[in-house]
Every structure is written in C-alpha cells, then in structure tokens.
C-alpha cells in the first residue's frame, strides 16, 4: 500500500456508463496529454453498458491527472473510479485453461456452481467472454492457478449434476492451430443410423437397432455385431442406397460448422463403421477431404449380406485418423475427433482433442470433453469462435441467418 504522500506506481481507471462512440478515444486523449504509458486495457459492452478498465503509469502529479480524468468522465456522461496501485499486472499463475460452458438455458445457479468449483480447486477466473446467446448460451472462462486435468475432472462432475456441458482445454497454441477434424458419421454428423435405414427395406429394423445400441454401448464386439447386422440386409435391392441417402438428415449446425471452419483452413475427414455407398456421397456433398468406411458387397444389383475387405472397427478408426493426419502433414495432437459410440474411443483418445457428441456414458467418461446439446456447430465455441463471428462471415458471403428471438 502507498503512503498518503507517496506517488503510486500505477493508476487503475475504471469507467462505466452508457456506451456510445468516442468514450474510449476521449479518455485516451486525456491520458495522452499527461504522457502516461498504458500497461493494460480491457473493455466490454453488456446490454449497451460500457465497462472500460485502464491500467496506466502514474505521473508525479497523479492527483492532477485524477482530477482531469474525473472531469473528462463527467463530460462524457460516465462514472469513473481511479485507484492507486503499486505496479504492473503480475504474470498469471501457471495452470491456465479455457473453460467453455454451454447451456440451453444456462441458469445462474448452474453457472454459480461451476464458478464455485473453480474457486474450490484453487483456480482464478481471469476473464469471461460470451461466445453465443442462441440457440444455446455459451461462455468462455479464462482460468489460471489450477492444472487442466484436475479442473476437468471436478467440473465434469458438477456439469453432470447441473445438466449443462463444460469443456476444459489447456491454454496453448495448438488450440489456434488445429487444422484437421475427423468425425464419426452415424448419430454424429447425421441423425440416426444408416444401417437401420437400410434394414427398414428388409423389415428387420428393430433387430438391427437393438444390436447397434448394444455395440455402441460397448457391450458387443463391434466387428462381430456389424457382420451380424449386415447379414440381415441380404437381398435388399441396391436402389435402397438412393432412397436412404435422400432421407438422411444432417445434425443441426453441421453445414454451418463445416463451411465456417473450411474458411479458416481446416480440413475435414469422416471415418465410419457405416458404408462407402453412403459416406462417399456425403463427403462429396459437404466438401470433406477424406472419407473411410466399410463397403457392402453388391452382386447382380442386390446386397449379399457381406462386407468387402477388412472392417473399419474401433482400431481402424484410430488408424484412419493417423493416416489422415500424415497426409495433411500435422501431428495427431493437432487433430480434433468427434464421435458418439464405443467404437470411437480409440479415435477420440488418439486426437489432441476428443469430443464426445451426444455420446453414450462410457464415451463421455473417456473423452476429453462432452457436448450434449443437439447442435454440431457449438463445437466451434470450444475453438474460440463466437456465433457473432460466424454470422458476420456468413452475411459477407450472402448467407442470411434467421434473427434469434429477443
């Protein structure tokens, strides 16, 4: 603390009031005349209310500057506080993470519980930014002072209790540099399971759905279960592929995510336990760079109930991820993998960031993070991309996004 007659080393100036043009520049003009150095500056606008914080070096006659700042704030119609400090901001503590909180809705009690667990873990929230307000509320918290793995474990439990999603990632350059996204297809990129759609043409959809569910929960060996299900498709006319493809529904936000991230240079790959007769067409439609899946055998225009070549199973998905990364020329740490079933686990673990998307419990527990809202484009918020940035880019490209409810 400074003695009353001692010149402080810094002044912290906090300005609040109704936002309008010229406030920041007006305050900086006043500071410029005093010849002070700006050490730090942060500004946010919340519902047209401005909060501007400036940390500046203190001149010898700091009281005169304080009076000038207060007079300028009055001219601008703002409230101001000037606090004396003793130095520059200290370097933030080690253990820095990005914590993304998703809720639809995001209630104060849930957010309070998350911030409480951060504090209990010894973490400090350095900054909070809103990434989206519709159709989900997404906030990004910059946290320091606690190791990422510890924070992830504690917040995952609290998020489950609160019924919201929380993703915890270490602060690193890799977050900005990831350039390959490898995705599962069924119940991830598209809604539902393609094999069940095909099974409807053979009248065995219920049985195939039962086996699929057990396999996705990890209760059955994937390859054995796939061959068992495919055998039930014997005799289906190959024209069924066209019918199934036309009925496929993408996950909400899928096209938005792909076109936005491709603008930023991301590459996309799909790797599926499904079938090339569908995935190859889907990859071409969405502009994916790579695709790998199983191939159903067709003889004389009908499915034989067999698979051509080796099965793309749990290990095969991870192998595909490594192959795609090598072709792009990046490390596995620079890959994001997204999936929902037990056969995605090796792929999620091989990636730098593994995301369980509306996944089975066994997958959510093993993945780096889980997203349980039904919008695939929310994954962009985990990468530090806000909805406002997405909509601005779309608007510039002539794509109009419906206005959210007021």
Enumerate the active-site residues.
184, 186
Report how far residue 139's alpha carbon sits from residue 159's, in angstroms, rounded to the nearest whole number: 14
Q: What is the length of the chain?
A: 406
| Residue 378 zone, left/alpha/beta (φ > 0; ψ -120 to 50; rest) | alpha
H/E stretch holding 301 reads none
| DSSP code at position 237 | B
Report how far residue 95's alpha carbon sits from residue 147's, in angstroms, rounded to the nearest whole number: 5
Report how far residue 397's alpha carbon sits from residue 375's, in angstroms, rounded to the nearest whole number: 22
- How many Cβ atoms sit within 10 Å of the Cβ of residue 397? 9
Report how far residue 82's alpha carbon sits from residue 72's, in angstroms, rounded to the nearest whole number: 13
Return the closest-CA partner of residue 185 out of 268, 272, 114: 272
Beta bridge partners, 132, equal 138
Residues in Cβ contact with 89 at an 8 Å cutoff, skipping those fewer than 6 apart: 39, 40, 55
| Strand 180-183 relative to strand 267-275, pairing | parallel
CA 117 vs CA 100, 140, 331: distances in Å:
14, 15, 33
Report how far residue 7's alpha carbon sits from residue 5's, in angstroms, rounded to the nearest whole number: 7
């Amino acid at each position: 603390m400074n003695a009353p007659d001692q010149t402080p080393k810094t002044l912290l100036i906090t300005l609040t009031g109704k936002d309008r043009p010229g406030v920041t520049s007006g305050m900086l003009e006043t500071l410029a005349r005093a010849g002070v150095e700006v050490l730090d500056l942060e500004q946010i606008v919340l519902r047209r209310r401005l909060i501007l914080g400036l940390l500046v070096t203190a001149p010898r006659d700091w009281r005169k500057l304080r009076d000038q700042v207060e007079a300028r704030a009055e001219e601008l119609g703002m409230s101001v506080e000037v606090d004396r400090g003793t130095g520059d901001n200290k370097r933030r503590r080690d253990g820095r993470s990005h914590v993304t909180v998703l809720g639809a809705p995001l209630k104060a009690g849930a957010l309070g519980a998350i911030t409480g667990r951060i504090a209990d873990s010894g973490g400090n929230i350095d900054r909070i930014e809103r990434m989206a307000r519709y159709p989900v509320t997404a906030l990004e918290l910059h946290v320091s002072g606690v190791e990422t793995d510890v924070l992830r474990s504690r917040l995952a439990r609290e998020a489950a209790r609160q019924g919201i999603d929380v993703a915890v990632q270490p602060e690193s350059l890799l977050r900005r540099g990831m350039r390959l996204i490898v995705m599962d297809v069924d119940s991830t990129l598209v809604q539902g399971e393609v094999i069940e759609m095909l099974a409807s043409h053979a009248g065995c959809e219920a049985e195939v759905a039962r086996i699929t569910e057990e396999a996705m929960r990890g209760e059955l060996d994937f390859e054995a279960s796939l061959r068992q299900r495919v055998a039930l498709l014997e005799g289906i006319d190959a024209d069924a592929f066209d019918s199934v493809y036309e009925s496929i529904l993408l996950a909400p936000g899928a096209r938005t995510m792909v076109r936005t991230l491709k603008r930023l240079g991301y590459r996309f790959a799909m790797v599926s336990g499904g079938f090339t007769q569908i995935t190859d067409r889907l990859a071409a439609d969405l502009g994916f760079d790579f695709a790998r899946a199983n191939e159903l055998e067709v003889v004389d225009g009908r499915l034989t109930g067999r698979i051509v070549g080796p099965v793309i199973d749990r290990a095969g998905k991870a192998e595909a991820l490594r192959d795609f990364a090598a072709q792009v020329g990046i490390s596995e740490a620079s890959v994001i993998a997204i999936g929902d079933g037990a056969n995605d686990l090796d792929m999620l673990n091989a990636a730098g960031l593994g995301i369980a998307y509306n996944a089975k419990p066994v997958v959510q527990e093993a993945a780096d993070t889980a997203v349980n809202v039904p919008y695939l484009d929310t994954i962009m918020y985990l990468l530090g991309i806000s909805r406002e940035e997405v909509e601005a880019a779309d608007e510039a490209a002539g794509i109009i996004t419906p206005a959210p409810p007021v």
